[in-house]
A = this chain, B = another copy of it.
Amino acid sequence: MTTRAKTPASTSLATLANDLRLACMRISRRVRFESTDIVAPHQFSVLARLEETPRTPRELADIERVSPPSMSRTVAALVERGLVLRADDPTDGRQVILSLTPEGVRTLKDIRRRRDEWMASRIKGLSIEEREVLARASEILLRVAGE
Task: Judge if A93 is at the interface, Cβ distance under 8 Å.
Answer: no
A24 touches B28 (CB 8 A): yes
Main secondary structure of the interface of A (DSSP, over half): helix
Among A97-137, those with CB < 8 Å from B are: 112, 115-117, 119-120, 122-124, 126, 128, 130-137
Copies of this chain, complex-wide, total 2
Contacts of A39 in B (CB 8 A): none
Kindly state the separation between the CA atoms of A7 and B22 in the bound complex, as whole angstroms: 29
9-residue interface stretch from A53-61, A68-76, A80-88, A139-147? A139-147
Given contacts A14-B120, A24-B28, A133-B137, 16 further A-B contacts (CB under 8 A): A7-B128, A10-B138, A16-B123, A16-B135, A18-B116, A19-B142, A20-B123, A21-B27, A21-B115, A22-B138, A23-B24, A23-B137, A23-B138, A25-B31, A123-B144, A136-B137
CB of A27 to closest CB in B, whole Å? 4
Contacts of A139 in B (CB 8 A): 3, 5, 10, 19
